[in-house]
């Protein structure tokens, strides 16, 4: 506590000394550092009013402009960066402070004051006496007129968090001091007790400016003392017999709580108790309660003088005591419902849904207002146009509409109070545009005529003028939240929340309320600090009560209610909550709440109407409509196979076993396969003759040891390698049907072994071929815990089988005989095995050979799982058919050495390479930052092996090998094997990352296949580059394709999935009517091809359920062709490009799987689109998956960060899905990294995840059920 005495001489001499030092002793490059009009920052703590006053008047004497700011305590103070922006825009280069304050500022390593983020470079000047120079006796500051020049700049933080400088002129400063002197009746030698911040607002106007003008004594109570002893100001009023006191309602409230036991307190000396925040709705209750207690201790009712002020208009109104001519105080009990519509209606006081407001007195001297018809408050009455436009010599006050043209309000309407007075601020420093809007407003009548020939200043206060021209304030523009068409005030919501057991739960009454814009409307967010001892049950009880209270009193829903630990919300300089910084943290996911309750279902009422499905247009009408519109039917095909037969050889060697025998006899030493280890060494090579002999040994073992007959099914459980290939051909040699199965993971048998067992049982395998190591694993004690090991069929290990030949190699009697079964778990969790005939197998190999131009002289690199789909075909089938050399890179090896695949491509100069999305993502993440090192020298790029296939958490592994320089300029095509929509973001980032290693920009492309046909599209070596189109995501939800320009709102990029393979025909059909669709129309992709699978293989013989998938016919048009239904939505589009045959190229764009789509609100959503939005919402979201549960949208996000960040994600996820997809998220589940199951192709297993969620097996960090 410091007392500013009226020893004006001392203040004069010290300010003079500072003014002289500033103008004459500070130089930069032999030039004066400052010149008149320059801005200077004043950095003084709240505990040092004397030095601040010296600095302020010193600047005025030197004709400099003081810019008071708060003392920066850390480099990350709330709003500090915005203050730096203000200092920069004001051109501040010098900061004044005290010795003690400077010592407490954060320091750099040099010992200098640290550079704060966003602040301009500052010179710091300590103004304690010893640092200043005494001026010569003949030096005097130049005389100044009280003109329009800027006297000082006060900072103001806006609703959005930006900090602006409000410039106050010398004339306004003087007029304000004179008006306050007259309104408050200040006189010389009076003592004023000031509890407010003396650097700004009323604390500055009363405590530093008006007090010096009137030679008053000021007792300043610092915030720290008030915090320790809330009664200190009352004690000083008693001790100094103060006549006036300057407080906020908060100070009165805390004094009440601390006053018990204080008997010798008297407030009889007070004639004026200025309540600076009288405009707040809760100030009336503080005033009433304070008067109720202290009236018995000498406080007179008429002493309490609420006032209203704003940085722009300075003091707008203040209640005068009767001895100064003030009218009797009044209060208004207003209907809160009517107020939300901007209308004033009186109501009964006993209701909960009313707002009781007190007047803040009349406008300042020199400013007066009278209503055109005199406002009389009466329930339900409506007044006329009530122009508030009484002009007087120098001032006007009026109330105007908040939005749009500033029309005068009617007498029963709430609007923004505007002032035309000589005692208002003049501008936002350096911001001409918003200065004109705020400081040069011209109110107009309903007819559009200006009210006055002089501009008004908007105060930012919402209110009306009552009887006796008393001003009533019901809120602030900064706290205004427009929800729907109704207006609510943040302070009213805070008051309601505080009324719900305030002392029991909320820590020190710290509640922040603000609005965020979600889906074109304001949404109310309430953030409260909970007491340290609050339990989880207390939290949710309090939250539910607050929601009910706000709903019943304000008839508005709270979008998000968040509780944070005590003392964690950003603080304003004097202990309040820094609301704009709190809002910023909420939006950035940096609030770190400990409890969150979202209510989007009740709050969001402006969602577009759900789509009403119209009766489908018949297929015939669709065809006719396309013809009339001049659109062709969406049908396309690859090159004709009949024109492309190599020779008679293709006709002779119909079956793969025949091809292998032929190669073994004609080119026995030709190398077919080359398997690499993690170190890049070749672990095994296989020539044509070696593969033939290994296959013979396997066939002999199956016939003699396992005693299998022709047509028996054999499960091949091998790690990726050459043994798998030999076992496959061994089965074909003896007429058995091979079924490739991924081996179980040794560290995760409980999850992976049941899948192996299921495939073995469902495929009716009579024997299991595998290695010795896996045989031991299948029969181990650990395996016993997961499955019944006694029910395995015959297990045969092929590591040491004897060298035997088969008497005769089986030759299928017909091309339609089953060659192998291809089992795969779909992303919807369905285990589906398809039957591949010998004819289809050969046709598949022939088609890929022609598309990729594969010959015995070629080398290709493959980094794929060899168990199903195109990955299996490329690993096991194509090399034998085409004779090219395959460099096999097992994907598990990349977890030890992530650069292995790219190194292999470079080392073997592979022109063609295949990989999966998971491999591409692993390389992009693991090597993206190391391309320069990879190119120039050896790099130790490695990934630690997984503990389990479903877990992406790394564990300790062996040290990585070194890989030599990598050059990818040899690559012509790098194809990603997938059964999904192309992942453009990943392929593009991969291309950009490895461009430095010579990867051609156009090399990366995707393939497309599915269960019914594993290879429909594949880029190959000929034909135009893949094209990309942009479609409207909103139209896509309605099953429509609307092409838009790149960068358009709601645009979604789609790239074609490679070129249609030779022999393949594709048509787009309506999934329900089965009619053909036109060009660029969305429908199901149907395929007709010699290499389509012949049907599903199921243990229960339920082929009938899915026969339609393999033998579908169009309902109109070409009804003869048999098609296979892929289950994928897509569209065909004829481009301007020319394909290899010289025809215009037809591009196929795959949108997504029909089985995966979510039917919500009558629209079709693709999970990947929602997931893409969610992943962008916060940097800590590593992965995301969505699914539906009882019509609720469930979003599962993996948190790659601290657990304290978990609850930040709930609101961000809900917001982004609402904004971008118009969907309300029902449940947000936050889990650890690796919980979302991903298959070998890098696809999310959403149905497995759903099952885990419903079975409560996810072990989540947090589950938020949105209300």
Torsion of CA 744, 774, 795, 778, to 10 degrees: -60
Domain count, the chain: 8
Q: How far apart are CA 214 and CA 193, in angstroms?
A: 15
The pLDDT value given to residue 957 = 36
Which ranges of the chain have pLDDT less than 50?
1, 3-6, 367-394, 644, 937-962, 1099-1103
**Contacts by 933-941 with C-beta closer than 8 Å and gap 24+?**
934/899, 934/902, 934/963, 934/965, 934/966, 934/997, 935/965, 935/966, 935/967, 935/996, 935/997, 936/965, 937/965, 938/962, 938/963, 938/964, 938/965, 939/899, 939/963, 941/897, 941/898, 941/899
Q: How far apart are CA 1060 and CA 85, in angstroms?
A: 57
Q: How far apart are CA 718 and CA 867, in angstroms?
A: 9
Do 75 and 220 sit in the same domain of this protein?
no
List, edge to edge, every strand of the sheet that includes 973-976.
682-687, 671-676, 885-888, 859-863, 912-915, 973-976, 1004-1006
Q: How far apart are CA 1216 and CA 695, in angstroms?
A: 56
Reduce the DSSP state of residue 695 to 3 states and report it: helix
Q: Is 1098 exposed, middle or buried (0-12, 13-18, 19+ CB in 10 A)?
A: middle
CB burial of 864-884 (b: ≥16 within 10 Å; e: otherwise) equals bbbbbbbbbbbbbbbbbbbbb
Please state the φ and ψ torsions of residue 478, each to the nearest 5 degrees. Answer: -65, -25
Q: How far apart are CA 506 and CA 133, in angstroms?
A: 52
The pLDDT value given to residue 68 = 96
Q: How far apart are CA 1018 and CA 845, in angstroms?
A: 13
Q: How far apart are CA 488 and CA 355, in angstroms?
A: 12
Compute CA distances 701 → 164, 732, 810, 1015, whole Å: 86, 13, 15, 33
List, edge to edge, every strand of the sheet that includes 471-476.
396-400, 415-420, 457-465, 471-476
Do 327 and 474 sit in the same domain of this protein?
yes
Do 792 and 885 sit in the same domain of this protein?
no
Do 1212 and 1260 sit in the same domain of this protein?
yes
Helix axes 917-927, 984-993, angle to 10 degrees: 40
The DSSP string of 459-483 is: EEEEEEE-GGG-EEEEEEGGGEEEE
Q: Let me know if residue 610 belongs to a domain.
A: no
Residue listed under structure tokens 């509409």:
401
Identify which of 783, 761, 772 has the alpha carbon closest to the alpha carbon of residue 719.
772
> Computed over its alpha carbons, how large is the radius of gyration of the chain?
40
Torsion of CA 606, 607, 613, 619, to 10 degrees: 120
Do 1050 and 1137 sit in the same domain of this protein?
yes
Do 425 and 564 sit in the same domain of this protein?
no
Compute CA distances 1012 → 665, 732, 1056, whole Å: 35, 22, 20
Q: How far apart are CA 22 and CA 122, in angstroms?
A: 15
The pLDDT value given to residue 370 = 32
Last residue of a domain, one of 144, 162, 197: 144
230: tokens are 């809330």
Q: Let me know if residue 174 belongs to a domain.
A: no
For residue 46, what is the DSSP state?
T
Compute CA distances 904 → 293, 677, 1148, whole Å: 86, 10, 31
Q: Let me know if residue 678 belongs to a domain.
A: no
Q: Let me know if residue 859 belongs to a domain.
A: yes
Do 1127 and 1098 sit in the same domain of this protein?
yes
For residue 385, what is the DSSP state?
-
Compute CA distances 622 → 626, 1070, 1079, 1133, 1162, whole Å: 6, 10, 12, 17, 22
Q: Let me know if residue 1130 belongs to a domain.
A: yes
Q: How far apart are CA 642 and CA 920, in angstroms?
A: 36
Residues contacting residue 914 through CB under 8 Å, at least 6 positions apart:
860, 861, 862, 863, 864, 870, 871, 874, 974, 975, 976, 977, 1007
Do 556 and 448 sit in the same domain of this protein?
no
Q: Let me know if residue 1133 belongs to a domain.
A: yes
Identify which of 148, 147, 278 has the alpha carbon closest to the alpha carbon of residue 202.
278
Q: How far apart are CA 640 and CA 1019, in angstroms?
A: 16
The DSSP string of 179-208 is: HHHHHHT--TT-EEEE-S-TTSHHHHIIII
Compute CA distances 697 → 380, 544, 702, 705, whole Å: 100, 73, 9, 11
Pair 206, 176: CB distance under 8 Å: no
Do 139 and 5 sit in the same domain of this protein?
yes
Q: Is 1074 exposed, middle or buried (0-12, 13-18, 19+ CB in 10 A)?
A: buried
Residue listed under structure tokens 């960040």:
1205
Q: How far apart are CA 1236 and CA 1249, in angstroms?
A: 6
Pair 973, 991: CB distance under 8 Å: no
Q: What is the CATH number of the domain that holds 1108?
A: 2.30.38.10
Reduce the DSSP state of residue 934 to 3 states and report it: helix
Identify which of 1000, 1014, 1024 has the alpha carbon closest to the alpha carbon of residue 911.
1000
Q: Let me know if residue 1013 belongs to a domain.
A: no
Q: What is the CATH number of the domain that holds 1205?
A: 3.30.300.30
Q: Let me know if residue 168 belongs to a domain.
A: no
Do 211 and 349 sit in the same domain of this protein?
no
Helix axes 8-24, 49-61, angle to 10 degrees: 60
Last residue of a domain, one of 311, 344, 370: 311
Q: Which domain covers residue 302, as residue numbers?
A: 185-311
Do 449 and 511 sit in the same domain of this protein?
no
Reduce the DSSP state of residue 851 to 3 states and report it: helix
Do 794 and 857 sit in the same domain of this protein?
no
352: tokens are 């909960």
986: tokens are 């990943």
Give pLDDT tens digits for 520-560. Answer: 899 999 999 999 988 888 899 999 999 999 999 999 999 99
Pair 333, 349: CB distance under 8 Å: yes
The DSSP string of 587-608 is: HHT----SEEEE-HHHH---PP
Q: What is the CATH number of the domain that holds 856?
A: 3.40.50.980
């Amino acid at each position: 506590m410091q007392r500013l005495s009226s020893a004006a001489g001392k203040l004069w001499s010290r300010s003079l000394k500072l003014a002289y030092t500033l103008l004459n002793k500070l130089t930069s490059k032999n030039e004066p550092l400052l010149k008149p009009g320059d801005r200077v920052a004043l950095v003084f703590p709240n505990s040092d009013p004397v030095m601040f006053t010296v600095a302020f008047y010193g600047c005025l004497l030197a004709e400099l402009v003081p810019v008071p700011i708060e003392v920066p305590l850390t480099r990350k103070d709330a709003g500090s960066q915005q203050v730096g922006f203000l200092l920069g825009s004001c051109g501040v280069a010098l900061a004044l402070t005290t010795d003690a304050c400077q010592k407490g500022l954060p320091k750099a390593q040099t010992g200098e004051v640290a550079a704060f983020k966003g602040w301009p470079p500052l010179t710091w000047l300590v103004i304690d006496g010893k640092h200043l120079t005494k001026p010569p006796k003949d030096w005097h500051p130049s005389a100044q007129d009280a003109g329009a020049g800027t006297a000082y700049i006060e900072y103001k933080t806006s609703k959005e968090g930006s900090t602006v400088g409000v410039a106050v002129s010398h004339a306004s400063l003087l007029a304000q001091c004179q008006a306050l002197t007259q309104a408050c009746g200040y006189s010389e030698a009076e003592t004023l007790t000031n509890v407010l911040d003396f650097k700004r607002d009323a604390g500055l106007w009363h405590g530093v400016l008006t007090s010096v003008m009137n030679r008053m004594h000021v007792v300043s109570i610092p915030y720290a003392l008030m915090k320790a002893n809330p009664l200190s100001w009352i004690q000083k009023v008693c001790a100094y017999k103060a006549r006036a006191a300057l407080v906020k309602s908060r100070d009165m409230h805390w004094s009440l709580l601390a006053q018990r036991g204080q008997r010798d307190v008297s407030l009889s000396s007070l004639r004026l108790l200025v309540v600076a925040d009288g405009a707040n709705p809760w100030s009336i209750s503080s005033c009433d309660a304070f008067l109720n207690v202290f009236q018995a201790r000498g406080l007179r009712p008429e002493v309490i003088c609420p006032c209203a002020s704003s940085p722009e208009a300075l003091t707008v109104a203040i209640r005068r005591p009767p001895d100064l001519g003030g009218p009797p105080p009044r209060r208004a009990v207003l209907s809160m419902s009517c107020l939300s519509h901007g209308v004033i209606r009186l109501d009964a006081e006993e209701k909960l849904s009313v707002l009781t407001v007190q007047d803040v007195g009349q406008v300042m001297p020199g400013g007066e207002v009278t209503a055109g018809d005199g406002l009389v408050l009466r329930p339900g009455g409506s007044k006329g146009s009530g122009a508030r436009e009484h002009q007087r010599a120098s001032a006007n006050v009026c109330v105007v509409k908040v939005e749009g043209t500033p029309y005068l309000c009617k007498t029963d309407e709430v609007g923004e109070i505007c002032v035309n007075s000589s005692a208002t601020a003049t501008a936002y420093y350096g911001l001409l545009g918003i200065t004109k809007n705020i400081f040069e407003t011209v109110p107009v009548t309903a007819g559009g005529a200006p009210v006055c020939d002089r501009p008004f200043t908007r105060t930012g206060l919402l209110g009306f003028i009552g009887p006796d021209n008393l001003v009533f304030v019901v809120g602030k523009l900064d706290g205004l939240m427009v929800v729907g068409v109704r207006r609510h005030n943040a302070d009213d919501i805070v008051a309601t929340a505080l009324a719900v057991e305030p002392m029991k739960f909320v820590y020190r009454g710290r509640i922040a309320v603000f609005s965020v814009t979600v889906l074109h409307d304001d949404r109310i967010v309430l953030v409260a600090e909970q007491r340290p001892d609050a339990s989880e049950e207390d939290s949710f009880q309090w939250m539910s009560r607050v929601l009910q209270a706000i709903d019943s009193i304000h008839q508005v829903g709270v979008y998000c209610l968040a509780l944070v630990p005590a003392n964690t919300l950003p603080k304003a300089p004097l202990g309040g909550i820094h609301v704009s910084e709190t809002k910023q943290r909420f939006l950035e996911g940096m609030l770190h709440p400990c409890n969150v309750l979202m209510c989007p279902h009740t709050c969001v009422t402006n969602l577009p109407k759900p789509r009403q499905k119209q009766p489908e247009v018949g297929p015939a009408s669709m065809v006719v409509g396309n013809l009339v519109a001049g659109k062709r039917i969406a049908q396309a095909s690859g090159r004709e196979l009949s024109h492309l037969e190599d020779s008679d050889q293709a006709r002779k060697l119909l079956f793969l076993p025949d091809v292998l025998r032929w190669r073994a006899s004609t080119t026995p030493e030709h190398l077919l396969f080359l398997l690499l280890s993690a170190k890049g060494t070749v672990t095994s090579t296989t020539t044509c003759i070696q593969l033939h002999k290994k296959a013979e040994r396997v066939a002999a073992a199956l016939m003699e040891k396992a005693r299998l007959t022709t047509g028996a099914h054999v499960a091949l459980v091998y790690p990726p390698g050459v043994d798998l290939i030999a076992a496959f051909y061994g089965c074909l040699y003896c007429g058995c049907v091979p079924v490739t199965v991924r081996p179980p993971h040794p560290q995760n048998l409980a999850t992976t072994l049941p899948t192996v067992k299921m495939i073995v049982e469902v495929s009716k395998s009579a024997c299991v071929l595998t290695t010795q190591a896996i045989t031991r694993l299948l029969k181990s004690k650990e395996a016993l815990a997961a499955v019944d090991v006694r029910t395995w069929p015959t297990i045969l290990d092929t590591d040491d089988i004897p060298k035997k030949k088969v008497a005769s190699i089986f030759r299928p009697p017909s091309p339609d005989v089953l060659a192998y079964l291809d089992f795969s778990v779909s992303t919807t969790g369905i285990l589906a095995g398809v039957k591949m005939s010998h004819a289809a197998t050969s046709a598949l190999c022939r088609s890929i050979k022609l598309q990729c131009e594969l010959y015995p002289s070629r080398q290709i690199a493959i980094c794929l799982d060899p168990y199903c789909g195109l990955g299996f075909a490329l690993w096991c089938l194509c090399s034998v058919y085409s004779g090219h050399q395959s460099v096999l890179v097992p994907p598990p090896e990349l977890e030890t050495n992530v650069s292995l695949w790219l190194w292999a491509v470079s080392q073997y100069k592979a022109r063609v390479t295949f990989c999966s999305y998971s491999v591409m993502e692993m390389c992009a993440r693991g090597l993206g930052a190391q391309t320069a090192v990879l190119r120039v020298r050896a790099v130790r790029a490695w990934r630690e092996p997984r503990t389990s296939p479903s877990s992406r958490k790394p564990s300790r592994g062996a040290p990585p090998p070194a890989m030599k320089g990598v050059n990818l300029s040899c690559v012509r095509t790098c194809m990603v094997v997938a059964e999904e929509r192309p992942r453009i973001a990943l392929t593009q980032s991969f291309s950009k990352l490895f461009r430095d290693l010579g990867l051609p920009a156009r090399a990366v492309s995707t393939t497309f296949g599915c269960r019914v046909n594993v290879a429909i599209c594949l880029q190959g070596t000929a034909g135009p580059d893949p094209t990309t189109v942009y479609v409207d995501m909103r139209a896509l939800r309605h099953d429509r394709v609307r092409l838009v320009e790149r960068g358009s709102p709601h645009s979604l990029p789609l790239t074609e999935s490679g070129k249609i393979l030779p022999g393949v025909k594709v048509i787009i059909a309506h999934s329900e009517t089965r009619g053909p669709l036109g060009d660029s129309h969305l429908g199901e992709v149907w395929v007709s091809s010699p290499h389509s699978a012949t049907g599903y293989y199921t243990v229960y013989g339920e082929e009938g359920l899915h026969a339609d998938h393999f033998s579908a016919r169009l309902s109109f048009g070409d009804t003869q062709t048999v098609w296979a239904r892929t289950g994928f939505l897509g569209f065909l589009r004829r481009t301007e490009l020319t394909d290899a045959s010289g025809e215009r190229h037809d591009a196929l764009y795959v949108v997504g799987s029909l089985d995966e789509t979510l039917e919500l609100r009558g629209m079709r959503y693709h999970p990947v689109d929602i997931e893409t939005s969610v992943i962008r919402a916060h940097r800590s979201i590593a992965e995301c998956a969505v699914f539906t549960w009882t019509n609720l949208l469930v979003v599962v996000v993996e948190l790659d960060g601290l657990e304290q960040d978990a609850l930040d994600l709930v609101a961000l996820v809900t917001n982004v899905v609402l904004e971008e997809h118009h969907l309300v998220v029902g449940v947000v589940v936050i889990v650890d990294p690796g919980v979302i199951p991903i298959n070998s192709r890098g696809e999310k297993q959403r149905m497995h995840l759903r099952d885990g969620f419903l079975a409560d097996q996810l072990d989540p960090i947090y589950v938020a059920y949105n209300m």
